[in-house]
Structure 1
Amino acid sequence: MTAATQREPARTGSTHGASRSARTSRVPVAVYAADPILRLGVVQQLRQRPEVDLVDDADREQADVSLVVVDNVDDDVTALLHRLRHNTVTRTGLVVGTLGTGALQRVIECGVAAVLRRSEADQDKLLHLVLAMANGEGVLPGDLLGKLLSHVGSSLQRSALDPGGLSLSTLTTREADMLRLVSEGLDTAEIARKTAYSERTVKNVLREITTRLQLRNRAHAVGYAVRNGLI
């Protein structure tokens, strides 16, 4: 996400220095979005709810909930999620247009506690997301939860079948996704467009795989991954 990422200004009369009880338990929320239209849509919904206190830049580090609003998860979004993860005060939620299984794994690894599709982000569901995170709960659409459990189950099954061999840690989700696309005949530029990563990132990831596993090239890496059930 670019340096131009914007956040909604605080409401008039907001008192972020006060305790939560002094603010009638309103949940401090910071909204992050590079696209001002996406930000405005979420902010307008939350602004109407007395349970929510939208914070300004000066207080964003103290927000209980950080909402990241994006079309999809790319390198910039991943970097932002990593930065937010280091803030032990806030919990991060993602309001996203599209999110595949690989991207889902990635955002969970970045510490995202809740996910909501933008197409479903009406006022009630946004409020539910905010309050659930403020209470230490997680929120995930049922179909994405199913995909995540299936992914984890497959990984555990591979580990159980060969506990002394290759494990999930041999290839990250991103690495496996890219190798799978290589196996389908896609080149670097096509993989970059498909995964929303930069071409440089794609090259670096594939180079890291071949170097770490001591393989000759991409084709060798694909064959290695297929033989060992990694893709």
Structure 2
Amino acid sequence: MPEPARSLRLGIAGPVGVGKSSLVATICRALAGELQIGVITNDIYTDEDARFLRSAGVLAPERIRAVETGACPHTAIRDDVTANLLAVEDLERDFDPLDLVLIESGGDNLTATFSPALIDAQLFVLDVAGGGDVARKGGPGIGRADLLVVNKTDLAPYVGVDVEQMVADALAAREGRAVVALSRTDEASIAQLKSWVLGMLEAHRAGTHTPQDPGPMAPHFHADEDGAGYIHTHDHDHEHTH
């Protein structure tokens, strides 16, 4: 049997509540008429994000699949990407040819980055409700993801955020790398996002885009059952420092 076509694999990361699933739905709605798309969601104990996307009707339900990581959601996109790679390859085989597979990280904090062994390009998502100062604080995803999305800009008047200043801060933190200020109610911003995705797909097909590693995740805290918790690092030895 011939190998299935290799899709553009696009990772989407960011803290809890920034609208990653909503962003996936927006991309699907904008591009499902032009591209063959599949979706992989990640969460620790649930397939809730996949069920949300299926119920939203953005794709045929069988094109949306869930990976339940059972542990730190970062590990499944960074350290041991096997479950996600298998899910992507299954989608590519079942719906050959796929143009685009969107891989949504489980939400956690500002540290998440995808391994370039899993994805070809990655988006990092912030939202205005998290505060206008978040973008300038940086971090590997904010600073070096292929695209930073400042999401939910329609909420800015209600949370006292200056979107233009937040985007300017993001551009400075990213040394000019691409930033999109997005609202799912603003067609112009959706068109900008769509254009970026299509441009990345064109570069992927032409072989002119090389997946980049934004760098390792910063150490971050995990609570545990006894309440003590531990600091989780994603360095090469993968040890936990308690």
Report if TM-score (shorter chain) is over 0.5: no
Give the structure, 1 or 2, with the largest relative contact order (CA under 8 Å, sep 6 or more): 2
> Which TM-score tier does this pair reach, normalised by the shorter chain?
0.3 to 0.5
Larger Rg: 1
The structure carrying a bigger strand percent of its residues is 2
TM-score (norm 2): 0.35
TM-score (norm 1): 0.37
